[in-house]
Structure 1
Amino acid sequence: MKDAGTPTMACGVCVAPGRFEIQPRPCPEAAPEGWLLVDIAAIGICGTDYHIFAGKHPFLDYPRVIGHELSGHIASGPRRGELVVVNPYLSCGTCRACRRGKPNCCSRIEVLGVHRDGGMCARIAVPEGNLYPAEGLSPEQAAMVEFLAIGAHAVARSGIGAGDLVLVTGAGPIGLGTAIFARLAGAEVHLMDLSPQRLDLARRLCGFERLHPAGADVLSGDLAEGFDAVFDATGSARAIEAGFPLLAHGGTAVLVSVVKDDIRFSDAEFHKREARIIGSRNALRADFDAVMAAIRAGHVPTALVSGKVPLAELPSRFAALAESRDDIVKILVTP
């Protein structure tokens, strides 16, 4: 009898900047010790994926199976069939950050879909400790947990609370997630963006009303003394620098987005304000849990899902989706 060979699966691969293809790859049938197989249910397309497609990601080698916003069902072991959220940050467990309970900034971190192949495929092997039960969520909701956890982590890092004045610059998915969890913390939330379409989405989908075009003079009236926290989710060095003068005395700048450029600010102004700059990277288990609780409680609008695309159609649509990011929040891919 002829050997059928190793089963294969269709994978979404960014072959090179501007080239996205469906390619066959071996379908894993066994997982290493301590890992489990997960049958992928839904994949969110992230700004990171668009940057990879555009050739702008600093930590990536091509070709790469992308996809790190993942939900799926465990395919092996006693938890078989369980719907889970995949934490895509694979930490070493031994570096100083990991030993101090900060695996999100592990010195040897590997992110699925960036440093190693991701989950835009039918099945993937993941460390069991990175699989979080998603009871009460749909597969689509579970696939949104990771990007929302980025904002939840940033808000937790900031220490904001009831009555604080908050500005989120950048009203894309990460900015909206940050704004949602700042609102849940009790803050008065303002959003700023270059795109009128994105600000309109923030109003229509999430109910935010304090919206400002980028560059607007907002320091007047009740805002004359500035914001207690400014969260940057723009990915723009210029926008980050423009946010520093908007801080109130004693305020905090939280850098959620990552830029390759050097950031400049006036040391004298920072000392005068006794301001803080906080970097926020990835998320922790507590942030994932907080997001799932918020979804179950109805605090996250289901309309954040702008559409679904079968994996087979993605090569013909990826470029158009990248070009229309001002008009969409989150696209989910089904394998």
Structure 2
Amino acid sequence: MRALVYTGPESLEMRNVPDAEPATDELLVRVEAVGICGSDMHAYLGHDERRPAPLILGHEAAGSIVQGPRTGERVTVNPLVACGVCRACIEGRANLCPDRQIISMPPREGAFATHLAIPARNVVTVPEHVSSVKASLAEPMACGWHAVGLAERILQRSLSSSACLVLGGGAIGLGAALVLESRGAGEIWIAETNSERRSTVSGAGNFRVFDPAEPGSGPKGGAIDLVVDAVGIEATRASASAAAKPGGVIVHIGLGQATGGLDIRRMTLQEITFIGTYTYTPTDFRDTAHAIFDGRLGALDWAEERPLEDGPGAFAEIHAGRVGAPKTILRP
């Protein structure tokens, strides 16, 4: 099969590779759409030791089953493969399974390829009226779905009376904002430094989009009930610490930098809750997919599409900051 292979820092090559071979409990999926994630970018830059070269990256996938009794069924793929028997899995928190695997990380190759092997329990059927591109957004948007759900359990007020701030207008940040909007959040701010992306994000929902580099353009400090940090660098954590009001909640999704930024003294004195959130549960993924299918998360018309062969150029342009779309989808 053909695949886009990560071969070393800032190096990707189209190659002929051995065909994906599904195990007994797995399906063979022909990949029709697969998104470029921030974690793919970290690997591409050589910043992720969990993804050593050579490796097929990509985990935000949708396509069609091409082998077995379900042949022809269109599906979106939950890339987290859990054991199913540990305490976390039994409790419905498979994202915390100590033996979890994810496609695009050894021993599982990713979805920047024509075909993918995935356990049958990891797919959700896609209705005919939903495109594979929209279906592939289930994975990044499930991160926001899970994050907002965690925050709702902690907030001492309803979302309808809450001021919310999302740091980062990429697919995960925009997805979180769309989830907040679908659940009736009272006010939603989105901070995004890319001017082209700000324009796209502004049209995706009823949001107050601003450039955080412009003084006075965002909400007042200490005025936000819920902050979603979808970037996860020192600067955004500092912004989150300053933005949250006393008793507020910060939900941290991004993994840009490992340390720095949090104002621990203020968070302690003002009882600001910090929640680290990792991906989503299987239920979150299914619920997000069905919200996409039902149209509850908007038109989802903000992704850029490119052929898989254009992958090397797409990665280079994203790294250079020349891509304004919140999500780039590759089409094998």
TM-score w.r.t. length of structure 1: 0.88
2:19 paired residue number: 27
Judged with a 3 Å threshold, the aligned counterparts in structure 2 of structure 1 residues 57 and 204 are, in CA distance, closer, same or farther, namely same
From 223, 242, 247, give the equivalent of 1:245.
Answer: 242
Which amino acid in structure 2 is aligned with residue 204 of structure 1? G
Partner SS, residue 281 of structure 1: coil
Q: Aligned pair 1:226/2:242, yes or no?
A: no
Q: Deviations over 1:11-69 (max 9, x none)?
A: 110100111001111113x5212111111111111222222212122421111101111
Amino acid at match of 2:123: L
Q: Which residue of 1 aligns with 2:208?
A: 209
Runs of 5+ consecutive residues of structure 1 not aligned to the other structure: 1-8
SS of the residue 1:26 aligns to: coil
Does the C-alpha gap of structure 1 residues 271 and 146 become closer, same or farther in structure 2, counting only changes over 3 Å? same
The answer to which of 314-323 and 38-47 deviates more is: 314-323
Please name the residue that 1:301 is paired with.
Answer: 299
RMSD: 2.2
Q: Describe the superposition over 1:159-218 as per-residue Cα deviations: whole angstroms up to 9, x where unpaired.
A: 062121101111112111111111112111111123333322211343423535247447
Report the counterpart of residue 330 of structure 1 in structure 2.
Answer: 327
Match for residue 178 of structure 2?
Answer: 180
Matched residues in 2 for 1:201 and 1:291: separation? 22
* Counterpart residue number, 1:112: 103
CA distance in 2, matches of 1:14, 1:167: 35
Alpha-carbon distance in 1 for matches of 2:263, 2:331: 47
What TM-score results when the alignment is normalised by the length of structure 2? Answer: 0.89
Seen in structure 2, the aligned counterparts of structure 1 residues 75 and 214 have a Cα distance that, compared at 3 Å, is: same
2:91 match = 100
Asked whether the 8 Å contact 1:42–1:140 carries over to 2, the reply is: yes
Could you tell me how far apart the structure 1 residues matched to 2:329 and 2:259 are? Answer: 34
Residue among 52, 64, 74 paired with 2:55: 64
**Contact 1:218/1:224, CA 8 A, preserved across alignment:** no
Runs of 4+ in 1 over 4 A off after TM superposition: 217-220
Between the aligned partners of 2:322 and 2:178, the Cα distance in structure 1 is: 19
**Higher mean displacement: 238-247 or 161-170:** 238-247
Which stretches in structure 2 are left out of the alignment for 5+ residues?
none
Q: How far did 1:300 drift?
A: 2.4
> What residue in structure 2 maps to residue 189 of structure 1?
188
Partner of 2:4: 12
The structural deviation recorded for 1:303 is 2.1
The answer on whether the counterparts of 1:219 and 1:225 sit within 8 Å (CA) in structure 2 is no
Rg comparison, structure with higher value: 1
- Asked whether the equivalents of residues 238 and 263 of structure 2 are also in contact (C-alpha less than 8 Å), the reply is no
User: Once the 2 structures are TM-superposed, how far is the Cα of residue 129 of structure 1 from its aligned partner?
Assistant: 0.7
Instruction: Assess if the C-alpha contact under 8 Å between 1:252 and 1:275 holds in 2.
Output: yes
User: Residues 90 and 109 of structure 1 are in contact (CA less than 8 Å); yes or no, is this contact kept in structure 2?
Assistant: yes
Partners of 2:322 and 2:145 in 1: CA distance? 22
The separation in 2 between residues aligned to 1:58 and 1:241, in whole angstroms, is 26
Number of residue pairs the alignment of both structures matches:
323
SS in 2 for 1:101: coil
Note the C-alpha offset of 1:279.
Answer: 0.9
CA distance in 2, matches of 1:292, 1:152: 10
2:17 counterpart SS class: strand
Distance in 2 separating the partners of 1:150 and 1:325: 25
Match of 2:272 in 1: 275
Amino acid aligned to 1:151: G
Q: CA deviation at 1:282?
A: 0.8
- Among 124, 147, 150, the alignment partner of 1:157 is 150
Which residue type is aligned with residue 208 of structure 2? E
| Partner residue of 2:284 out of 275, 284, 287 | 287
Task: Give the aligned residue type for 2:61.
Answer: L
- Residue 3 of structure 1 corresponds to which residue in structure 2? none
Given that 1:229 and 1:247 are in contact with CA atoms closer than 8 Å, whether structure 2 keeps it comes out as yes
CA distance in 1: counterparts of 2:324 and 2:217, whole angstroms? 25
Q: 1:215 to 1:244 in 2, by over 3 A?
A: farther
Q: Which residue of 143, 148, 154 maps to 2:136?
A: 143
Moved more, 246-255 or 87-96: 87-96
For 2:284 and 2:213, the matched residues in 1 are separated by: 29
Counterpart of 1:315 in structure 2 is 312
Q: CA deviation at 1:281?
A: 0.7
Deviation at 1:270, TM superposition (A): 2.2
